[in-house]
Homo-oligomer: A and B are copies of this chain.
């Protein structure tokens, strides 16, 4: 298959059928719903299941130039809310788009801005038109609508853009949830109408909280719109892991089998393995980068807090099998010292370790799905996390 971009001749204004296209390669043969696939995008392929590091305001925090390439990150995520406030989408557009601005020529996804309006800005007000809010940076009054969100995202120019939706708190009444879902569906139709299809592919978002009835109804409304991909929103927002797994198990099969399924804002390694087992293809989360800056390492043996005094004199590497600098070049004692001293190198090294671990976990899942052994892989990963970190020999 040629690249969709190349198929489109100059002056040819017909809508390309799919700038982003999902290719289902394998379905797990070991008793789960795990899928091995490939997402074709204008900036190259993405092997799924995939984890997308988050580059909130145009850089993946704690990661140096070229480190994402060394880590072989295939796709990263940018936050529309942050970028529209600073430096502003027009400036990014004038600088050649987000890919060029941040010097990243692999695939990219932007969210709609909605989630951050609801979580970060003050005095937000949701109406049929959209969300009025004040910037958390300078108090400016702004309005984000489905049309504006699509306009901003298309100006940024990510390969995948997300529909503008509301992710209502699970504490809201059922009446409110129904009203919100109906509005999110109307917003989706407005997004589709505003969508120029020139270089960005729009994904729809299914909400509905933990209520199977609402999920099913909303999935039917959203999937009735033919889009290159679909996401599940409204998970990992405070519910227990078990509730989320149950929800994902119910919701993932509501999404089309021949399209990529993206579980937004998830999650821990455990969450990701459980969700892949339930049929999810794409993930994003600030966890590996944020935890790294705070001294937490994700490893084969679970989470290790390098701030803990037990590492102060431990000459061992973080993980003797890991091949990233945090483990190959330094001891736990040094990592502990850096974190305790607030040296940026500590956060850089643990961020690298965490992204490398996530990369390794995703690659392991992809290989095991293809080999028909995902269930074994999953059990093995969980046994490692359950075993926990080994104490230093004394």
Cβ contacts under 8 Å, A337 to chain B: 57-58, 86-87, 101
Cross-chain contact of A62 among B67, B101, B344 (Cβ < 8 A): B344
A203 CB-CB contact with B under 8 Å: no
B interface footprint on A335-374 (CB within 8 Å = 1, 0 otherwise) = 0111011011111110010000000000000000000000
Cβ contacts under 8 Å, A333 to chain B: 87, 91, 95, 101
Q: Is the CB of B61 within 8 A of A344?
A: yes
Q: Which 8 A-B pairs have the closest CB atoms?
A: A65-B325, A59-B345, A64-B64, A103-B329, A87-B337, A59-B343, A57-B341, A95-B333
Cβ contacts under 8 Å, A61 to chain B: 343-345
Given A86-B337, A103-B330, A334-B102, verify A95-B343 contact (CB < 8 Å): no
Q: Report the bound CA distance from A101 to B333 in whole Å.
A: 8
User: Which A residues lie at the B interface, using CB under 8 A?
Assistant: 57-59, 61-67, 86-87, 91, 94-96, 101-103, 312-313, 315, 325, 329-331, 333-334, 336-338, 340-341, 343-349, 352
Cβ contacts under 8 Å, A313 to chain B: 91, 94-95
Q: Which residue of B lies closest to A348 (CB)?
A: B64
Q: Is the CB of B103 within 8 A of A334?
A: yes
Q: Is the CB of A329 within 8 A of B65?
A: yes
Q: Is the CB of A101 within 8 A of B334?
A: yes
Listed A/B pairs (22) with beta-carbon separation below 8 Å: A57-B341, A58-B334, A58-B337, A58-B338, A59-B344, A61-B344, A63-B345, A65-B329, A65-B330, A65-B349, A87-B312, A87-B337, A91-B313, A91-B333, A94-B313, A95-B313, A95-B331, A95-B334, A102-B330, A102-B334, A103-B329, A103-B334
Q: Is the CB of A325 within 8 A of B95?
A: no
Q: Which residue of B lies closest to A346 (CB)?
A: B59
Q: Which residue of B lies closest to A313 (CB)?
A: B91
Q: Which residue of B lies closest to A58 (CB)?
A: B337
